Structure formats: C-alpha cells, structure tokens
Amino acid sequence: MKYLVIAPGYPSEENKYNNGFVHGRVKLYLERKLDITVFSYTSGDLNEYEYEGVKVYTGGKDAYIQFLKQHQFDKYLIHFGYKRILKPLIHIYPSAEIIMWVHGAEALGWYRRLFAFNPRKPYRFLGYILLDTIQLRYLHNFIMKNYNVTFVFVSEWMKNILEKDSHTVGKIKKYEIIPNVINDKIFQYHKKTANDRFHVLSIRTYQSKKYANDLSVKAILELSKEPFFDQLTFTLYGDGRLFEKTLKPLRQFKNVNIHKKFLNHHEISEVHRQNGIMLIPTRQDAQGVSMCEAMMSGLVPVTSNNTAIPEYLPIDCGYLANNYHELAKAIKEMYYNQEEFLKRSENAHHFILKKCSSKIIMDKELEVIKSARNNSQK
C-alpha cells in the first residue's frame, strides 16, 4: 500500500517548525514500515527535497494538480482539509480513500476568533471572514456528498465545533477521536522535587493573541505583589510580532528570564527538566500539544478552562483558570503546598502517557488506516 500525506506546509532545513506535528507522525509511520510520500502544498513550481529521511514534494496549485495526475496512491492522508487541497484531489480521483485530520484553523467559524481582530487594520479580518465563509461552505458540501472519507479529530470539542460551524450536525458518519501524539521518548519523565515548584516555564509563539501570553504577563505581575515572589523564577521562551510589546512589563524583574528564541524538541525536553510548573494559558486550543508535552515531562500545567483543554487536563493533574487572577492563585497554591504540586506532577505524566503516548496513538492511527484499506478490498 502506498500512502500520500498532504499538508499545507512541511518542515525543511529553512523552516523546521512548519507543521512539525505532521512530520512527527510521518517519522513514526516510517518506523512502522509504511510506504509514505509527502506533498507540501505551498507555492511555486513542483519541487522536491528530503528532510530527516522523508521525501517531500512541494509546490502550488498547478504543481499539486500535476503531481496528483502523475502519481496515484492507495490512500490519501490529509492534514487540514482546506478547499484548495480537497477540491483538486476529489476532481481527479472522485472515489479516493481519504483520512482527514481536522486541526482547527480550517474548521472554525470566524466568529470564534474575534480575539484576533485588530481595529487598526479591520480589512485584514474582513478578508479572513470572507475566506473562512468560503471554506466552511465548501466543507459543508464536502461532508454532505459522503465521499470515501474518515475524519480524525484530536478532541470531542473539535468534532462538535466543525459540525456546528459547517451546519452538518449528525452528518459525519465515519470518524475517530485520536489525539496528536506526544513523543514519550523525547519528553521523558523525571520525577520532580519540591523545589521544582519554584520554577515556572513558558514556551510560546507570540504571533497571535490566541496563545494568551498577555494573561501570563498579568499573572506574573499579580504574583509580584506576593511576599514570596523573589523566591520564584520565571523562564519565558518564544518569538513573534507581539513578543516585545507583550513582555515589556516584565523586563523590570530580575527573576524573569526572557529568551527571544524558539527551541527544538530536544531543547524543550531539557528545559522541562529544569522547571516544575508550565504557565500556558490559551484562548483556543483543539488539544494543547505544548501543554501535553509538558505533562509528559512531569510539569504541572496552569492553563485556561476553555475549548478542548479540559479533555486533556483533569483537575487532579493541573489547574484550569478562568482569568489571570486564577492563574496566579494556582501558582500561589503550589508554593504553599508542595504535596499538591508533587501529586499533580505525577498524575499529569501518567494521564498523558496513557492518552497520547507514541505507541498508543500509532496503534490507533494504523488501525484506522488498515481498516479503511480492508474496506476498499471488499
């Protein structure tokens, strides 16, 4: 069986973070001896390169259509079901067997991202509204036509939102709920000590308000009023257009260490070992992969009580907050209660290990792929 993975972007030497979670899956597929080819839908003429042993074809619309016509596969594994990816494939191969992972950006109504509206540049959001409306209308028609598709959602929340926003409640017949994999070989668990609760970590992009870094800043400012504040250390990694503006209020504190850089997975794992609490609020997440990686390493997440986060963070594994006051309160509670910190640290690791470990997720995904293959042979 030959499989084509299609995504709107894929890691390369020039951009190692471009949909890295897709690359992580592909490497695990290759370990399981699947015959995998990757197409990265970007722009330009048809081209190809190799990244960490994975052969990747890339190009824009014409290159994509050209590639599909020249290469036929037994199964098409699609991440992000954008119209520009699905429409040519269905046109060329109407009965193509598809497994489609829904991650969020392609399946949410524009009104769920009002936090991204910039009143100084309203035309940008108006353009987003138009494109999003076209995308959701296409997904509605795509779902209603009952193509040979199995949907994969990373959370119940994501499935429910897609159905609501595309007006297809109860119409998706073939689907699975499978989390994004968290690599337990990279994010290894090291039992935390009581002193680790004094070390708070944040690893985030600062490109969008979606990641709620402003709430982290407000929580730290709130904690600065506490008598124990100087005993805490805060380490923040990231970059993006909002980086300097967001973090400016924290530059005054000697115990806040700001690093304007991104980290690879192995570097993140090492930083996890040096900290005990992950301060990681969000305004919208279909899973919260960075949070889950921290949990695998044994950090206690302090995050937001919204979207899919509660599915991945039971109350005995971390803290769900409704505002920045509650974020600060959670860190304060752990400062005064080391037993609670240690208990939640261990619980967080074991919960994510059972829910998202490499073996568990790969077994589930391969079961979906093989099941679809067997159905096609009947």
Task: Give the pLDDT of residue 16.
Answer: 76
Could you tell me the fold of the domain covering 194-356? Rossmann fold (3.40.50)
Residue pair 36/99 in contact by the 8 Å Cβ criterion: no
Task: Give the pLDDT of residue 146.
Answer: 87
For 125-174, give the DSSP string: HHHHHHHHHHHHHHHHHHHHTT-SEEEEESSHHHHHHHHHHTT-TTT--S
Task: Give the pLDDT of residue 372.
Answer: 55
Q: How far apart are CA 44 and CA 37, in angstroms?
A: 19
Q: What are the residue boundaries of the structural domains of the chain, listed by start?
A: 2-181+358-377, 194-356
**Top-tier CATH class for 2-181+358-377:** alpha beta
Task: Give the pLDDT of residue 374.
Answer: 43
Each residue's pLDDT, cut to its tens digit, for the chain (378 residues) gives 999 999 999 998 888 778 888 998 899 899 999 999 999 999 999 999 999 889 999 999 999 999 999 999 999 999 999 999 999 999 999 999 999 999 988 999 988 888 887 878 888 889 989 999 999 999 999 999 989 999 999 999 999 999 999 999 999 989 999 999 999 999 999 999 999 999 999 999 999 999 999 999 999 999 999 999 999 999 999 999 999 999 999 999 999 999 999 888 899 999 999 999 999 999 999 999 999 999 999 999 999 999 999 999 999 999 999 999 999 999 999 999 999 999 999 999 999 999 999 999 999 999 998 785 444 333
Tell the burial category of 273 from Cβ atoms under 10 Å away from its Cβ (0-12, 13-18, 19+). Answer: middle
Task: Give the pLDDT of residue 373.
Answer: 46
Say if 2-181+358-377 and 194-356 have the same CATH topology: yes
Query: Per DSSP, which regions of the chain are E strands?
Result: 2-7, 35-41, 47-51, 54-59, 75-79, 98-102, 149-153, 175-177, 199-205, 233-239, 256-260, 277-279, 300-304, 319-321
